[in-house]
Structure 1
């Protein structure tokens, strides 16, 4: 309930607002970002069972939506749609999301005339825990902890790190019963997550001098290559800017020389063709040499959860597979290993 109340405050909810989402109700985002805020404040909620990029804005207009919730991949896909008169033919005022890149955030606001509010939350935290607010936000950041949470960034030994230094995000509540109490019948996992009286999120972030937090990536998703820790987020953010790419996911696969190599899964826009070598060269011009993917595989659909998050573990399990090896084709990054 506390999270639902704060969610409505964060969006500056007002009389007549209509909350709209395509996120399923069994997920905390559907429950606490849409259903409960609308119920508690005697507002309307509108829902569609599936996300459709081509119909999203017409659906929002039809419901009279003023506040929407989007997964970050939805923002990217909506930006990839052809521009049309429907882009601003709606009443949406605020789009709440998580994981949006800074450039996408700015492009989304400019094109669709909507204020984007980015934040961080987990099922364990009762949905949102850190968020930009309508009156206090910084583009590209996750925002600041909500009033009933405190958060900090720590190293592998749980020592707090200075501003602008990356580390794991840890959180704890200031108000009782506003976070999960335990993992059901998993006492060892509960103790591990709550070690030193802080909940360890497993997410890598950093904090600036003004107290805004910035997302880097999931700790377990980090790719270890030639002594470098690579956030897949950084690769995907760049590749998604390619005019022929609809969506991309980067994972680590075993390397014959130890650690991992970068494999890139790419879903192209309908009707497009892109030579893997051309894409590798394009990446080489925009990424540090150690982030340039060695393996590229085109797929029709990226496996996703019902909340539209890429199922990285499924892609990682495939290993190198039948992917195109740009090294065997003669390509090498500008700076050799």
Structure 2
């Protein structure tokens, strides 16, 4: 790649280009198991499994997958939280050339049925709480192989049985399946780095599921890039002591890449958190001496740094590097996080870019409010939101297009959507951004979230940032709602901090002091909580749909 204006801002350890590794995902496990076989790969409520033990279980499951008739290209659904069995399944699928399909355990039966039908699954692996849902799905669509595990199986006590999980004859019990493998062997399947490894569903702003096909090359190159990017900080922790706080779900691409796969490259012990709940999590932090890397989302970060116990835990001594992603972090929250003494950075990515694409340097110039600069090997353009053939002028807002080794292969069995969103290798992200004179990118908003009120283009994130500046506000989001006079108008949804009280007029007056008159919310609704995705991203779409439903009724 030719020299770009942002290259001069890379940290000392970051090169402008890399020869990205060209091997399958399971080689990451092989590396760790060869380097530190006796180090704990996972720590699950205090029960540990070494890298060598993990590899042995992966090979046993891969062997049984082959005996079950699973072949290269078959789809294996993982309907699991962050438990050791997810890790085992992920790399075993890679060994036999199967494609992992990630499912959120919170999906409804109808959602699961739709996605299982779309992907033509050969196998699904679920857990105690998912058995009933998968039984319902199996009434509507054939799933040749169904495997179940208990979330308690790897905690060091007695393991579940087929009877305790209520499995009928059409099911396999995960640990019984492993025990039946007397001679684990390395599969002889030829897996190329350009073969599909994962189908990652993303509803985006439309709610219509699209399966981003991520290759082994996408996953490995992205994970290695994440390691290199942070090595100016994390590289000073001896390999034997490296850990990663894995509170982001592995079924989400962000947690999968910079939680699980980052840990493999670093030989880091994964501290598994199946479900993020703030009180148990603060207890976990209190009992954990060292965390090399803690990838998180803004709602997690807010819950931690605003917790009454945060100060006494001395988080800046405990956590070496904190990363925010998954959603824009409000400026006020980032400032408060940095005030605690934590080393923190923000980045941007999508399912379609294997979770990464742009980030702030770990050591170098950070700009509050900016998502940062493109990773090595990634290139970006900003184009007119109505005419993608015209690049916008410097400093002007435009749709962000991105190209490079992280960008997906396409959407699963959806060539029309692939053609619409990938043009000559450039992914059209739907995010509106501007670039400053140093090459730093600032997300203005989602293209589809833009509000047009009385002829003015309004980006809701501008309003979000102001709402978060109000000391009484814990969470907030602005949404465009239909209005007879203006076409659309701005409505703010607000969650107040505990013990605080505020009126609609008070919030509107606060915004009026800081925003142009046409951007000021006309309606404020106070709520106990806001709808969020599985990784804590506030879902404007749900709120917009609620408003549309009210108007239609």
Q: Identify whether the pair has TM-score above 0.5, normalized to the shorter chain.
A: yes
Q: Which residue of 2 aligns with 1:240?
A: 468
Q: Does 1:164 align with 2:395?
A: yes
Q: Does 1:131 align with 2:359?
A: yes
User: Which of 303, 307, 310 is residue 81 of structure 1 equivalent to?
Assistant: 307
Aligned equivalents of 2:269, 2:493: Cα separation in 1: 39
Give the structure with higher Rg (CA). Answer: 2
CA-to-partner distance for each residue in 1:119-153, whole Å, 9 max, x for gaps? 11111111111112223342222221111211111
Closer, same or farther in 2 for the Cα pair 1:253/1:290, shift >3 Å?
same
Retained in 1: the 8 A contact 2:316–2:343? no
Q: How does 1:85-124 map to 2 (within 5 A)?
A: 85-88=312-315, 90-98=317-325, 99-111=328-340, 113-124=341-352
Higher share of residues assigned helix: 2
SS of 2:381's partner is strand
User: Which of 524, 529, 538 is residue 296 of structure 1 equivalent to?
Assistant: 524
Aligned equivalents of 2:251, 2:548: Cα separation in 1: 34
CA-to-partner distance for each residue in 1:6-55, whole Å, 9 max, x for gaps? 11222223322211132111001111011101112211121322333445
Q: Which residue of 1 aligns with 2:538?
A: 310
Q: Which residue of 2 aligns with 1:327?
A: none
Q: Does 1:23 align with 2:253?
A: no
> What is the deviation of 1:61?
4.3
Q: Which residue of 1 aligns with 2:453?
A: 225
Show structure 1 runs of 5+ residues with no match: 323-337
**Number of aligned residue pairs:** 319
- Considering only aligned residues, what root-mean-square deviation do their CA atoms show, in Å? 2.1
User: Which of 366, 372, 378 is residue 143 of structure 1 equivalent to?
Assistant: 372
Higher relative contact order (CA closer than 8 Å, sequence separation 6+):
2
SS of 1:114's partner is coil
Higher share of residues assigned strand: 1
User: Which of 10, 24, 27 is residue 229 of structure 2 equivalent to?
Assistant: 10
Aligned equivalents of 1:321, 1:296: Cα separation in 2: 18
Aligned equivalents of 1:287, 1:185: Cα separation in 2: 45
Aligned equivalents of 1:239, 1:128: Cα separation in 2: 28
SS of 2:429's partner is strand
User: Which of 434, 443, 449 is residue 206 of structure 1 equivalent to?
Assistant: 434
SS of 1:23's partner is coil
Closer, same or farther in 2 for the Cα pair 1:287/1:320, shift >3 Å?
farther
> What is the deviation of 1:275?
1.4
Aligned equivalents of 1:137, 1:62: Cα separation in 2: 33
User: Which of 59, 64, 84 is residue 284 of structure 2 equivalent to?
Assistant: 59
CA-to-partner distance for each residue in 1:157-196, whole Å, 9 max, x for gaps? 22222321110110111x4xx4211111111110000124
TM-score (norm 2): 0.55
CA-to-partner distance for each residue in 1:292-315, whole Å, 9 max, x for gaps? 111111111111110101121111
Aligned equivalents of 1:157, 1:125: Cα separation in 2: 22
Retained in 1: the 8 A contact 2:242–2:266? no
TM-score (norm 1): 0.88
Q: Which residue of 1 aligns with 2:263?
A: 38
Show structure 2 runs of 5+ residues with no match: 1-219
Aligned equivalents of 1:185, 1:300: Cα separation in 2: 40
SS of 2:300's partner is helix
